Structure 1
Amino acid sequence: MTNSTAKPLGKTKKKRYLWIAIALVAMLLLGKMLFFSVPPKPDYVTAEARLADMEDSVLASGTLEAVRQVSVGAQVSGQLKSLKVQLGDEVEQGQLVAEIDDMTQQNDLRNVQAALATRKAERQAKQATLKQAELAYARQRQMLARDASSREDFEQAEATLNVTRADIVALDAQIAQAEIEVDTARVNLGYTRISSPMSGKVVAIVTKEGQTVNSIQTAPTIIKVAQVDTMTVKAQISEADVTRVRPGQKVYFTILGEPDKRYYGTLRAIEPAPDSIQRDESTSTLTGGGTAASGTSEAVYYNGLFDVPNPDETLRISMTAQVFIVLGEAKQTLIIPSSALGKRGEDGRYTVQVVGTDNEPTKRQIKVGMNNNVNAQVLEGLSAGERVVSAEAAAPAVAQ
């Protein structure tokens, strides 16, 4: 009885010890995996050095304007009696485009002409008085010489003669002034007939027939005429890029309606100051150092100007242009991604990691030309077809 009971108990102990041993081994293996495993090698993203066309350019936002545009205004006040053109019409220089009611100007001209005639008549009358004064003076002088008249009568005749001559001089000045007023009135009458100062297209009609214009304070605009066979692009270049651009550089742009078509030109000028310089100086205050400090930190842009032919008038005023100012370009040159460039050395060369046949990266020094932050031009140190590390994928995180 005693021996038969001890045998099952011994088997149970052995089985328990076996399970404990298995659990300890599993825990050891798990600990080794968690705390003593070697992290996997990071994966590399590679790119092949290849031949391609490359361009380094400055991007700017531009606006199209007519190469020449003038506002044709009125220099006299009155009702716009007749408008001779319509929107979109082609006009020639000197062509009559509008007429203002000229009744007021005609009346002004007649008034000053009448005043001039009055001054001339007064001069004629004074001329007769002068003749009479000269005869009286001569007679008194002869009589004084013969002691037939008094010295007082002679002096009176002499004074009358001098006063009459002075009156004639004053009338001559008044006549000259009246003639100027006549000329001015005649010019003002001519201003009622408005002509185009240049050839071009009517791009805006500001004042309609029947409206009354007032030129006392400002010259009101009747129409706007522009030459649109050539357009000027005004590109806003940021202050970070303006130091890299120069007149004479190649430039092209696209418009929203034709994003795949390029219009080419040559940068002809860069305005020396931003548009903000035209703002009222009262918005700026002087600091203690004597420099103007603006209340807001706005981005600063300088206008670059270039012209482009527009024979078919596809380009229109105020269109938005995406402008590219070309700093440099190369055809079929060796390029790699800019992200593959490492640190730049004192000699100007960059470090890159070249992946060999064993798929292991090795460092190499290369000489770089243009770099537009997307691709870099390789001048020395690499050959077409070689692979470089452009990015390194992050290794998987180890659980803690």
Structure 2
Amino acid sequence: MKKTQRRWTGIVAGAVALILLAALCLHFFSGDKGPQYLTAKVGRTDLENAVLATGTLQAFKQVDVGAQVTGQVKSLKVKLGDEVTKGQWLAEIDPVIPQNALRQAEANEQSLVAQKRSVAAQLLQAELAFKRQQQMLSDDSTARQDYEAAQAGLDMQRASLASFDAQIRASRTQIEIAQANLGYTRIVAPMNGEVVAIVTQEGQTVIAQQQAPVILKLAQLDTMTVKAQVSEADVIRIHPGQTAYFTILGETDKRYYGKLRTVEPAPQNFADSQGGLGGMGGGSSKSNTAVFYNALFEVPNPDHHLRIAMTAQVNVLLGTASHALSIPVAALGEKDKDGSYIVRVLTSDKRVETRKVRTGINNNVSVEVLAGLKEGEHVIIGEASDAAEAAAAASAAGS
């Protein structure tokens, strides 16, 4: 073991000695005694400055198709992935109870109509009796008490008839409600789209007393909405109308372009964080979490290649430059008061010149040069490390 360690120590020491010897030879025999620089060539490229965000894909229009009546799902007429048209029959809820309710409402109306006929006949009789009393009273052939009793009986029959009219109107309202409930047992598509989820299966019982239970979900996939989560540091730099594009995990080299439609004013899950009295509950407990705002835009999806819930790597473009003169950001020196930067240029005769350059788009890797440099020049991005010091550091790390 000790022999092996001594052998490796000897090898490392020999390598270090060779590196030192090479460095000394380069120092003494090289014609250029000046410092060694790392340079980059001023060239042309396409630049873009963008806000980066992660988003998810959603259908531009999606509807939860629910049930408005309680009952058992008797049959489903569609399968997952089916294309449906507006008005197409999707599902049926057992119609027995709504049918019986309709029959009961119709029977109640028929009974009220029959009672109204009886009251109408009594009203006719009361009118005739009152007319006789009127004639007899004018001839003093009857007592005023009998006349007044006939008048009161007539008014009572008229009131009864009006009451039955109101009851019949109410019963017809009940018939309309029962007819509507019976119609609700036949669930139809509210729009054209694709069945993207089936929530309730055949045979399940749905209860629609407090809220409408969801039977299935329809979505229009010809257009997709991208919901990009933009950090609070970047959201102040974006606005509706800006160009945005995204890539998906399965196609990182293909870009899908769109225009920002809106930037939501409140962060995501804002409503959930405002519980409690006065909207203050839960707000302080989330003060240390990252804050993101949703930026939305649409892209066409005619072949349905994009799918719901896909992850999107989003770029919101702040500026672009095509075939722009550019240099690495590392070449920039101090910034002057007028907004220009100091850049060192290594000339063809190995002299170092200091230039002032005006810059444009800066994506933190490359920067656009608007003035101060020419294509083909070399800018200094750093100084080469001393070879001896690098070798010594490598030797120390190896030991």
- TM surpasses 0.5: yes
Asked if residue 387 in structure 1 is aligned to residue 373 in structure 2, the reply is: no
Cα deviation, residue 277, structure 1: 2.3
Match of 1:257 among 250, 255, 262: 250
Deviation at 1:285, TM superposition (A): 7.3
Aligned match of 1:223: 216
- The 3-state SS of whatever aligns with 2:90 is strand
% identical equivalent positions: 52
The answer as to whether partners of 1:67 and 1:228 remain within 8 angstroms in 2 is yes
1:370 aligns to 2:361 (yes or no): yes
Specify the code of the residue in structure 1 equivalent to 2:75.
S
Q: Which residue of 2 aligns with 1:233?
A: 226
**In the TM superposition, what are the counterparts of 1:265-276 in structure 2 within 5 Å?**
265-276=258-269
Q: Distance in 2 between matches of 1:83 and 1:393?
A: 74
1:349 shift after superposition? 0.9
Q: Which runs of 5+ in 1 are unaligned?
A: 1-39
The letter of the residue matching 1:380 is: A
The structural deviation recorded for 1:235 is: 1.2
Match of 2:321 in 1: 330
Alignment partner of 1:87 out of 76, 80, 85: 80
Counterparts of 1:82 and 1:321, CA distance in 2: 37
Look up the SS of the partner of 1:64 in the other structure. Answer: strand
CA distance in 2, matches of 1:391, 1:214: 73
Q: Is 2:110 aligned against 1:109?
A: no
Pair 1:188–1:45, CA change in 2 (3 A): same
Equivalent residue for 1:305, pick from 289, 292, 296: 296
Deviation at 1:223, TM superposition (A): 1.0
Aligned to 2:114: 121
Amino acid at match of 1:134: E
How many angstroms apart in 1 are the aligned matches of 2:119 and 2:278?
A: 66
1:139 equivalent to 2:132? Answer yes
Structure 1 stretch displaced more, 341-350 or 353-362: 353-362
Query: Residue in 2 aligned with 1:344?
Result: 335
Judge conservation of contact 1:285–1:294 (CA < 8 Å) in 2. Answer: no
Q: 1:281 aligns with which of 274, 284, 291?
A: 274
Q: What CA distance in whole angstroms lies between the structure 2 residues aligned with 1:84 and 1:91?
A: 10
Question: CA shift at 1:75, angstroms?
Answer: 0.5
Closer/same/farther in 2, CA of residues 284 and 241 from structure 1, 3 Å limit: farther
SS of residue in 1 equivalent to 2:147: helix
> Cα offset for 1:350?
1.3
Amino acid of the structure 2 residue aligned with 1:251:
A
| CA drift at 1:363 | 2.8
Larger radius of gyration: 1
Q: Distance in 2 between matches of 1:376 and 1:285?
A: 49
- Normalised by the length of structure 2, the TM-score is 0.84
Question: 1:224 offset after TM fit, Å?
Answer: 0.8
Cα offset, 1:167, TM superposition: 1.3
Q: Give how far 1:194 is off.
A: 0.3
Q: Which residue of 2 aligns with 1:202?
A: 195
Decide whether aligned partners of structure 1 residues 190 and 280 sit closer, same or farther in structure 2, where only a CA change above 3 A counts: farther
Q: CA deviation at 1:45?
A: 2.9
How large is the RMSD of aligned CA atoms in angstroms?
2.3
Task: Measure the CA separation in 2 of the matches of 1:135 and 1:232.
Answer: 76
Which residue number in structure 2 is paired with residue 172 of structure 1? 165
User: Helix, strand or coil for the counterpart of 1:110?
Assistant: helix
Distance verdict in 2 for CA 1:274–1:193, change over 3 Å: same
Alpha-carbon deviation of 1:293?
4.6
Greater Cα offset, 96-105 or 311-320: 311-320
Q: Distance in 1 between the 2:160 and 2:41 partners?
A: 102
Runs of 4+ in 1 over 6 A off after TM superposition: 284-287
CA distance in 2, matches of 1:350, 1:361: 16
Distance 1:286 1:213 in 2: 34
Distance 2:373 2:179 in 1: 82
- Change in CA separation of 1:215 and 1:259 when aligned onto 2, cut-off 3 Å: same
Of the structure 1 ranges 127-136 and 389-398, higher mean CA displacement relative to structure 2 is found in: 389-398
| CA displacement 1:112-138 (0-9 Å, x = unmatched) | 111111111111111111111111111
Deviations 1:52-92 (A, max 9, x none): 11111111111111111111111001000010001111111
The AA in structure 2 aligned to 1:337 is P
Where 2:156 maps in the other structure, the secondary structure is: helix
What count of residue pairs does the alignment treat as equivalent?
Answer: 356
Listed as ranges, the gaps of 5+ residues in structure 2 are: 1-32, 394-399
Would the alpha carbon gap of residues 42 and 170 (structure 1) be closer, same or farther in structure 2, given more than 3 Å must change?
farther
